[in-house]
Structure formats: structure tokens, C-alpha cells
Amino acid sequence: MGCKATKEEVVSKTEEEKVDSILVGREKQARELGFVSWYRSTDFEVARRLAKEEGKAMVILFTEIPGSMQETFDFGDKALSHARIVELLESKFIPVAIQNNSVGLDEDRRILKKFGEKSWSTPVLRFVDTEGRDLVPRRAGIYSRSAIKARAKAAENANRTKVLDEVRGSVKRAW
């Protein structure tokens, strides 16, 4: 003896289903973030310590959430949802997403300021060491998978060299 749903409930359910179909496989994260499992601004220091412990660099995505431009959605839907890009960013780096629009948290705004990033801009993917220094020069408008792979490889090599130099320095000081 079920009750009949109201028109508002039916419309609401339909809208929820549309959203759910977009977010399948993303554990309900915003589509601007793709399938990458990102640390968020509130976990920035945790991510930084983890990167240091694992000898990895960080990849930081500065983006609008919710997005206001098609580029933002396309970047999440295409490049950041591609299996090889997801695997690359998650296995070789510690990924952190920072919301760059005004509805973000105070912590997001603090990190935007630290990195000199603007609010309400197109997505920017930066590869940095655990001190926040760019491993490859900052460039906006890098949205293709091939460009992301090339920059990730260069950043990984730069970080590896930096880590090896630190180890060599420690060994020399120990002698």
C-alpha cells in the first residue's frame, strides 16, 4: 500500500539520478576533480608530510568547485578521468586539490595566497616539492593528457634529483 509520490519528489529524484550518473566512480566528488583521489586544503599539511616521508613531490590542482567555465568541467571529465593520468598522479605524486573560487574554505584561500594563485581562474596543475617550490615552471592552460604526462615526468625527475642531492648532502655531513 504505497503512497503516491508528489510531483516535486519525482522531479527531485530525477535530478538526483542525473547527478549520480555523472559522479559514478568518483565517490560523489565534484566532476571538476575527475577520478583522481585528491587530498583537500584541510589535509594540506598531512599531504605534505606524506610526500616528504615517501620522497614524492606534490601535484596541486587549483580549480573552481563548482566550476563556472566549460574548461573546468572538460579538464575533470577528460584528462583527470583518464585511467593513465589518474594512475600517474596518484602513484608518483601526492595529489592535492585547492578550490580557487570564493565559496572555498579559509584554508583554500591561505594556500592560494601562498602559491600566488588567483581566484576564479581556469584550472592550473602545479608540480611542487614538499617546500612548495615548483619542480617545473608554472603554466596555465595545460589540459591535454600528453602535456600533463610530460610535465609530470619532468617534475618526477627534478624531484628525484633533489631527493638524491639531499641524501648525498646528509652522507657528506655525516662523514
| CA 17-18-20 angle, 5° bins | 60
Flag whether pLDDT at 18 surpasses 60.
no
Flag whether pLDDT at 99 surpasses 50.
yes
Parallel, antiparallel or unpaired: strands 124-128 and 93-99 = unpaired
15 or 29, which is more confident:
29
Residue 173 — very low, low, confident or very high, per pLDDT cuts 50/70/90? low
Residue 11 — very low, low, confident or very high, per pLDDT cuts 50/70/90? very low
Lowest model confidence (mean pLDDT) among 4-8, 58-62, 148-152: 4-8
Flag whether pLDDT at 118 surpasses 90.
no
Flag whether pLDDT at 4 surpasses 60.
no
Flag whether pLDDT at 10 surpasses 90.
no
9 or 153, which is more confident:
153
pLDDT in tens, 125-137: 999 999 999 999 9
Flag whether pLDDT at 19 surpasses 50.
no
Residues near 171 by Cβ (< 8 Å), separated by ≥ 6?
none
C-alpha span between 58 and 48 (Å, rounded): 7
Grid cell of 95 as nine digits = 595529489
